[in-house]
Structure 1
Amino acid sequence: MWQVTQELHALDARRRWLVQRHGELLAALRGRRDSPAEVQGMPVVVPAGDGATSGSAREVSAPSARTALLIVGGVLVVVAALVFTVVSWGRLGIGGRAAVLLAVTACALALPRPLRRRQLTATAEASAAVGLALVLLDAYAAREAGLGGLDRVGTAGYWAVLTALMAVAAPVYGWWQRLRLPLPIGILMARLPGLLGTTALGGGAEDYATAMIATAAVDFAALYALTARNATGPAGVRDRLGGERAATALVTGVRAVGGAWALLGGAIAVAHAVSVSSPTEVVPAWAPLGLVALLGMALCRGFRTLPFVLRSGSEGVAVVALVVAVGAGLRCVAPSGWAVAGYAAPAALIAVWAAVCCARRGRWEKPAKGGSFTPPPEAAAAVGELIAASTMLLLTGVVVLPELVHALAQPVVPGMALWLDGHPPQWSWQLAAAPLAVLWLAVSVLATTAVLRARTVGVGVGVGDRHSDQLANALRNAAALAAVPALLLLPVALGLPYGWVLAAAAVASVALTIALTTVVVRRSPGAALVPRLAVLAATDALALLWSSADRVAVLVAWGAFAASAAVLAHVLSASAARPAERATARVAGALAVLALGVEAVASGITAGLTWHVIAFVVLAVAAVAACAAAVWQRIPGREQVSTAVEGAGYVLAVIAIALTAARPGALSLALAVAGVAGLAIALRPDRRRAALVGTALLIASSWVRLALADVTSPEAYTLPVTAVALIIGHRRRASTPGTGSWAAYGAGLSATMLPSLVAMWSDGNWVRPLLLGTAALLATVVGVRTRLQAPLVVGSGVLVLVGAHELAPTVVQVLGLLPRWVPLAAAGLLLLLLGATYEKRIDEARRLRDTVRTMG
């Protein structure tokens, strides 16, 4: 049995080794198959004994080295021919040089066929590239020699015809010689005839754009003709291009070059159309824009093999061109100031149409659970139209945004002058109708898209999902938020007085507050709370912002806002409220308190009170907030709202104290009031630590009073702190066993002794050293009796320094009578004595250290 088991283990080990070896050999074979040498028909030979070392030493493969040599050689040949043609060589004239170049060109173009027969494909490609480059030099030499009157032809026109012929002849030559390189050369040469022909005819920006877009259209038409039967062309095409990979690379390259050329031409056309201002200039600008639109639509609908994103992008480019064309035409006939609206209107119409198409063609339908969904082919056009039109509408909104922002914030400047100087300047609230119209178009598009999206989800495959559609919700929320300024700015655009505009904002705010409160109280199913709150917040923000230009309006607006926020906090903080509602209730409670603070400041300024008097009004609001928080704390479910209200009250208290900074007497009183309020808050069982803050405020108040009385003695400032700190430390040590003496008494003892010690060195009187020494002696005795470390260390240390202070004059006097070398000698002898007795006294020092550490 044991022998059989051993054999089985050996067989398993052998099998694992064979499997590993099989994988290594398979990987090596795949590497040989995929190596460039194998592709070219040259087997990879690794010398025996060389192994991986030989392979790792070769950083450049043989095909790469060959390609580099061919490229460099071809470039050098072309450069030499260029120098030969342009500069001259020997005594040959331009005609002789042209003849020599023609012969060399014929040889270069004839060499690829025999080279291919000898399997020198790369060399044949290089020879063909050199020959095509020499053709251009031949053309230059022929024109310079005046052959056939070519020197009388315009430069741009001559080269336009020549590059057009090269763009056609190079691919034909490559097709005939079964070469790859001439076809990309022809594609690149095709970029030039249109531009050169436009230059020859003296065209403008729209003509250059038309030429570029037409060139791109020809590219895509040729590509469509080549790939009509297959995604990468018929079998014969693939064979002549060098295989599937080469055909795919060519198709991708043509798409990239043609797309880039079309986009560049479209950008030029758009820039030109936006800059024109007269009807006679608009009509020529429509030609490139229309060509871009047709090309984009053709690519989206004709090239079904393109990815969905590229097809949508092509349709989007067409929509942009169409919107710009219509907008440029409308701008020339529209009244002054409505130019942006001329672009926004067609963009909005197209966006709505695209949203309807997306809904009809199933692009927005959600897949069933566990399934997949492929949109129909027409959905690419609808998506591209929707994205492009929405982007154009957004751009028009960005253009009018400065005017809208200026209108929204226009009452702020006179409001600041009113509240700071008391003399508001004359101002008028105006807004042009065009920016508001653009904003209303954006709102309409967002609302329509949200409705269509929601209906599609309701009837689509995704019925029954627990989660709501996030896109529909986002669109609906964005439409609601954008509708707030669009609606509230409408009276401004109509030219109504300031009071009417402010009244409209106030009515909207009150109506939204009532509606939201009703929804929360009735617990309406399916009611979205967050967007309603966002709309209410935006409306309230505008109403409060606009009220700043009138004092009565400020008092009414902020008072109403405080009341509505308090009501919302009370309603939303019910025990059955959801977490989101409770969070909103906390924010509403805090905002109600802060609004009351603003109301207090505004009332004080309106009544003509000074800032330090207004501070006490704000402090009273903070005290009321603390009382309200204590009351709400007792109501179940409203503890968190109570905390928010209390925190807002603390903020108002800090602001009130800051308002009295310029008046020390008022500052002392404010600190005292705040300190008493802190001690009152500490009566709550959950706010015991407020006593520390209250005590600190009372001490700060006493400090301000002492400073006003010109008291400079540090003990007057530090003794109250010491007393409070020692009492708190004693209570902490009594209530919390294990509290060290440093944590309990260290701060209290240091608060007085250290400042007094510093003041003692500059005080020539004997009273402070006597009192400080007595206090230090008392602390030392208490530390020894109670075996506490903090009083012992602090008291003894201060006592030693007091003694040193008293002995310092005598020491200085004695040192003045002695020679200067005596102190140095004494110090040296002392160090020697200490060194000699260190080992003897070390045990005693350790025992003393342990004794001190054992103290509390």
Structure 2
Amino acid sequence: MEPADPLPDAADPLSASADPLPGSADPLSDAAFLSGEPRCPECGVRLTAPQERCPRCALPLSGPLAAELWRLDQALAELGARRSELLVRRSRLLRMLRAEGARQSAQAGGSTPEAAPGARRAEPGREVRGPVGTGRTGGGRNGTGGVGPARPGGDFSPKAVQNLLLALGGLLLAVAAVVFTAVSWGHLGIGGRAAVLAGFTAVILAVPRALAGRGLTATAETVAALGVVLLLLDGYAVRQADLAGTATLAGNVYAGGVFAVVALAMAAYSRAVPLRLPLPAAVLFAQFPLVLVAAELPAPWVTAAFAATAAADAALLLFLKHRSAAPIRPGIRRTAAFSFGTVWTLGVLYGAADSAPGLVWGFSSGDRLGAAIRGALPAVLALTGITVALRRAVGRVTGLAAASAFALAAGLAAPFLPLVPSGWHALVYAVAGLAVAAVALCPVGPDEPGIRSAAAVTGGSLAVLTVLPFHADIARALTEPFARLDQIWSGPHGYGEGWSPVPLTPVVVLALLAAASAALAVRGRVPAVSAPGAAGSGRGLRRPAGVAALLSGTIGTVLVPDALGWTHPAAVATLLALAAALTAGAALTGRRWRAETLATAAAAVTLWAAVTALAERTATHAALVCLLLVWAAAALLARTRAVRLLGAGLAVVLAGGEVLAVGVSLGWPARYAAFGLFAVAGLAAAAAGLVRRPYGPAVRGSATGPAGSGDREGAGGSRASGTGHDGKGGPEEPPAGREKRGGPEEPSAGRDGKGGPEEPSAGRGMRGRLRELSAGLEAAGYCLTAWGLALVVHDSLVPGPGVAHLPTLSLACAVVGVLLAGTALRPDRRPAAYAGTGFLLAAAWLRLLASDITVVEAYTVPFSLVLLAFGLLRARGGRVSSWSVYGSGLASGLLPSTIAVLTGDGGLRPLLLGGFSLAVLLAGARFRLQAPAVLGGLTLAVVALHELAPWIAQAVAAVPRWVPMALGGLLLVVVGATYEARLREVRRLREAVGRMR
């Protein structure tokens, strides 16, 4: 690190004020200690003598960098002192200016002058900023920084105090007017009452103009509000006095008239008096007349009143939007937006509530006019909302557009509901929702991406929601065959009584959803939904639309046979055709995401078809063979690696299923037919090993895994991937060298991470494709092995008419062990040997148990000694883990004997096993071997507990019942009191065991 340039000497005031003493080479060692008590610039520790490094943080304190840092600290200290002096002077000048301002205000009559723009009084604990001076901070929070005492401020500003007093005064006057009108009314005649109210109202409404002319705007607003209250009281008084026969009118009609008159009066008053209150008040009162007048009429009239009022509010909003350049009085735009949102929402909700009874109990065919009206009113509300949203006359246009789309869909569906049966109402709403979505996505019209997207999503979501009423029928139809797997080959539709088909309505709705989604996916980018300047942003709709089309179309096709009542062969043929079509699409497409999506759907339909075909023997064989051929072709011909792997795996699984079906057809029990699965699994494992085996000289090194980069076949031979060697025994060339030499590279899964088409395989033939199938074949072999083992276990150990068939289970475990041992011959599958050894040991033990062998040690000890000998020979090669040396031998000898102790009786075997396990434990502790110590200790503990269990049971039964509880409580107290010590002992024990080999 090069030192920074030193500060100037004479011209720089910073360096001039902090020069070291003459002749001093180290400022921190000389000048620092002469000028004052120095501290470390890093950690702040006090330095008592010149030192090369800080005693705490080891920061170097000598050299040119340290000298420059010392000068900078000195300069900053001087600047801080100067700043404090300036702040003190500033506070003094500020106090003088405040005193001068107070004297000028007193001479002018006590009125407070208006503060300059940007000026603000200082408050305790708050920084002061203002136009005076530089406008910099005048102090800190806690009084630091040199700021003098500020003028104490209150919790309320003068404006807030004024508004509070005016509001309270206006409220009291309004209450007094109400009391006068309602209580003290009887003391005056009809003429006096009318004169008092009219005169007082006229005076109150005349005062604000004079007050506004004198600059008392807040007071004028308060008086105007009182005038509004008096106008309402005038209306009440007129009805109570029955002037002009108003008492004969209905209450809601008269109230609507009063609100209309007040709204017109406030609108006219706002033109005469320049106040903020009258015009918003007029807008608010204008919301009530139509709704109140229609309150006693049928429900459609109320919805019509809401729609008319909302349309008027929308017109006002658009007018204000058009006059955005002209001066608008504050509050009117927000009031109009609030009124429109409230009335529009209430209209939509009231219209939906009016249509709800018809949706629940159905519409009569004679109510077509009412249904048309009920549909037209929400449509009017929807068009009003869409117009306001497109003009962006309100803030939240996206939510308004979504709600308008919902109302429009409901309005379009309502006229057609009486024409169809109640079971088909969902179809009507689905068509209406899709129509709204189509209109929203139509490129004709204003370019409003957010509004169009919200409307389209709402319409599509409404169409999807129409399927929800049929979710129980759809779920039952999809899961019923899986619930009857224990009744296979019982005949067509032999899954049980009470079979009820799926209604046809959800099938038609799903077909419409599939068609609409497919049209959107094929259409591609929608210009109206794409943001301006974002080329291709609308393409994001293609992928979800395609997935939605695939999902809805697949489910609808699966439900068609059940909904139409087709025969079982026709249903199976439909499912097979669908599976074949989806598999062909997945194999032929070159885009990764599309192929994976189609393959997933094809796999699901394949499973459904196979399970459905189990109703008949012939259908089962035919379906499995057809599906096997389809997926085998996909495994060999697919363009994407994922589909090839899935095709290989499913083809092997289907082949295993066919072999199992043949075995069951021959009358074999499931435990015997399961060995066919083992045979297919073995063939799959052998094929996986063969297709990955390099053709040519042996490969040194191992591959990375089943789905690794694979072997790459060059022009002159085969080369292993990863860290392997070439065909001549030398190290494998890097990719760059292979490219120069012309060797082909294995194509990647896709052109890019966005699901582009895969690169073509240059020069790779059928052999290269077979190598890629290794992972799929191996995974299918594991699945078949687990399937067969589960069948054998279920048929051998589940209680039945006879005893347990342990020999068959032993044979199955032996077969699985052999398969895993064969798999472990591959260099990249060495860990399979452990599982294979475990299955072979389990097979031996099960065979001994099935043969009623009482002295199992005669069969286990010799093999254990051989395994221990092998382990000792391996241990001679170097330091290895005790588990790999002694683990298998000790486990094969101790575990069967332990099981025999637990299941048998007698005292000789526990004694001998306990003594031997104790010896193993001591040997492991002596030579610090983990495997003998752990296995010997566990075996000894199990034997000891087994032998002591009767005595413990007798002791517990003999003592009073409170003794065990008392002992348990005492143990908990002791452990709790010595918890830390016991915890340390457990940690030491764990560390000691971990240090063993």
Give the TM-score normalised by structure 2. 0.62
Paired with 1:528 and 1:852, the residues of 2 have a C-alpha distance of 53
In the other structure, the counterpart of 2:787 is: 652
Matches within 5 A, 1:632-651: 632-634=691-693, 636-651=771-786
In the other structure, the counterpart of 1:211 is: 305
1:644 aligned partner, one-letter code: A
Corresponding residue to 1:162 among 258, 261, 272: 258
Corresponding residue to 2:635 among 562, 569, 578: 569
Secondary structure of the corresponding residue to residue 338 of structure 1: helix
Q: Deviations over 1:431-461 (max 9, x none)?
A: 554443333322332233333336979x999
In the other structure, the counterpart of 2:231 is: 135
In the other structure, the counterpart of 2:20 is: none
State the identity %.
Answer: 28
Contact 1:450 1:475 in 2 (8 A): yes
Report the CA distance between 1:696 and its aligned residue: 1.7
Corresponding residue to 2:569 among 492, 496, 499: 499
Paired with 1:131 and 1:551, the residues of 2 have a C-alpha distance of 91
Corresponding residue to 2:12 among 1, 6, 29: 6
Report the CA distance between 1:137 and its aligned residue: 3.5
In the other structure, the counterpart of 2:552 is: 482
Q: Deviations over 1:223-277 (max 9, x none)?
A: 334443x226x23xx2xx24xxx45544543553454345445544654775661
Contact 1:223 1:251 in 2 (8 A): yes
Paired with 2:284 and 2:870, the residues of 1 have a C-alpha distance of 88
Report the CA distance between 1:689 and its aligned residue: 2.9
Q: Does 1:630 align with 2:715?
A: no
Q: Deviations over 1:485-543 (max 9, x none)?
A: 445655655554332232233234335545655x37xxx79995345435534543443
Paired with 2:214 and 2:345, the residues of 1 have a C-alpha distance of 39
Contact 1:446 1:478 in 2 (8 A): yes
1:670 aligned partner, one-letter code: A
Corresponding residue to 1:231 among 324, 338, 354: 324
Matches within 5 A, 1:590-601: 590-599=649-658
Contact 1:273 1:325 in 2 (8 A): no
Matches within 5 A, 1:752-763: none
Paired with 2:194 and 2:859, the residues of 1 have a C-alpha distance of 105
Contact 1:214 1:291 in 2 (8 A): no
Q: Does 1:193 align with 2:289?
A: yes
Corresponding residue to 1:338 among 424, 429, 442: 424
Higher helix proportion (structure 1 or 2): 1
In the other structure, the counterpart of 1:687 is: 829
1:253 aligned partner, one-letter code: F
Report the CA distance between 1:214 and its aligned residue: 0.8
Paired with 1:551 and 1:853, the residues of 2 have a C-alpha distance of 58
Report the CA distance between 1:154 and its aligned residue: 1.9
In the other structure, the counterpart of 1:124 is: 220
Corresponding residue to 1:675 among 817, 831, 835: 817
Q: Does 1:450 align with 2:521?
A: yes
Aligned in 2, Cα 1:260/1:797: closer, same or farther, shift over 3 Å?
Answer: closer
Q: Deviations over 1:759-780 (max 9, x none)?
A: 79x9995786467557856986
Report the CA distance between 1:212 and its aligned residue: 0.8
In the other structure, the counterpart of 2:620 is: 554
Report the CA distance between 1:208 and its aligned residue: 1.3
1:690 aligned partner, one-letter code: A
Contact 1:330 1:342 in 2 (8 A): yes
2:568 aligned partner, one-letter code: Y
Paired with 1:799 and 1:544, the residues of 2 have a C-alpha distance of 52
Report the CA distance between 1:318 and its aligned residue: 5.8
Aligned in 2, Cα 1:649/1:525: closer, same or farther, shift over 3 Å?
Answer: closer
Paired with 2:550 and 2:919, the residues of 1 have a C-alpha distance of 76
After TM superposition, the structure 1 stretch with the greater mean CA deviation from structure 2, 155-164 or 389-398, is 389-398
Paired with 2:165 and 2:660, the residues of 1 have a C-alpha distance of 84
Contact 1:780 1:796 in 2 (8 A): no
Q: Deviations over 1:645-667 (max 9, x none)?
A: 34324432542353233235133
Paired with 1:732 and 1:598, the residues of 2 have a C-alpha distance of 43
1:181 aligned partner, one-letter code: L
2:227 aligned partner, one-letter code: G
2:682 aligned partner, one-letter code: A
Corresponding residue to 2:797 among 647, 661, 664: 661
Secondary structure of the corresponding residue to residue 367 of structure 2: helix
Paired with 1:5 and 1:129, the residues of 2 have a C-alpha distance of 71
Contact 2:389 2:401 in 1 (8 A): no
In the other structure, the counterpart of 1:846 is: none
Gap runs ≥5 in structure 1: 30-36, 362-375, 807-850
Contact 1:292 1:321 in 2 (8 A): yes
Aligned in 2, Cα 1:763/1:336: closer, same or farther, shift over 3 Å?
Answer: closer
Paired with 2:432 and 2:941, the residues of 1 have a C-alpha distance of 91
Aligned in 2, Cα 1:250/1:675: closer, same or farther, shift over 3 Å?
Answer: same
Contact 1:623 1:649 in 2 (8 A): no
Q: Does 1:390 align with 2:460?
A: yes
Paired with 1:854 and 1:50, the residues of 2 have a C-alpha distance of 62
1:332 aligned partner, one-letter code: P
Matches within 5 A, 1:64-79: 64-75=160-171, 77-79=173-175
Paired with 2:689 and 2:592, the residues of 1 have a C-alpha distance of 35
Aligned CA RMSD, in angstroms, stands at 5.5
Matches within 5 A, 1:690-729: 690-708=832-850, 726=868
Give the TM-score normalised by structure 1. 0.71
Report the CA distance between 1:393 and its aligned residue: 3.0
Q: Deviations over 1:620-666 (max 9, x none)?
A: 44334333333333264344334423432443254235323323513
Gap runs ≥5 in structure 2: 1-6, 18-71, 95-111, 128-140, 142-149, 694-769, 799-803, 948-991
Aligned in 2, Cα 1:765/1:278: closer, same or farther, shift over 3 Å?
Answer: closer
Paired with 1:699 and 1:204, the residues of 2 have a C-alpha distance of 85
Report the CA distance between 1:792 and its aligned residue: 9.4
Contact 1:593 1:648 in 2 (8 A): no
Report the CA distance between 1:193 and its aligned residue: 1.7
Report the CA distance between 1:402 and its aligned residue: 5.2
Contact 1:446 1:475 in 2 (8 A): yes
Contact 2:502 2:563 in 1 (8 A): yes
Contact 1:668 1:704 in 2 (8 A): yes
Report the CA distance between 1:697 and its aligned residue: 1.9
Matches within 5 A, 1:598-617: 598-599=657-658, 602-603=661-662, 606-617=665-676
Contact 1:219 1:254 in 2 (8 A): yes
Paired with 2:790 and 2:246, the residues of 1 have a C-alpha distance of 88
1:627 aligned partner, one-letter code: A
Paired with 1:335 and 1:48, the residues of 2 have a C-alpha distance of 75
Q: Does 1:46 align with 2:52?
A: no
Paired with 2:391 and 2:15, the residues of 1 have a C-alpha distance of 57
Secondary structure of the corresponding residue to residue 469 of structure 1: helix
2:324 aligned partner, one-letter code: A
Aligned in 2, Cα 1:187/1:10: closer, same or farther, shift over 3 Å?
Answer: farther
Paired with 2:211 and 2:238, the residues of 1 have a C-alpha distance of 29
Corresponding residue to 2:879 among 734, 738, 752: 738
Matches within 5 A, 1:55-94: 60-75=156-171, 77-79=173-175, 81-82=177-178, 85-86=181-182, 88=183, 92=187
Aligned in 2, Cα 1:563/1:179: closer, same or farther, shift over 3 Å?
Answer: same
1:586 aligned partner, one-letter code: L
Paired with 1:380 and 1:775, the residues of 2 have a C-alpha distance of 76
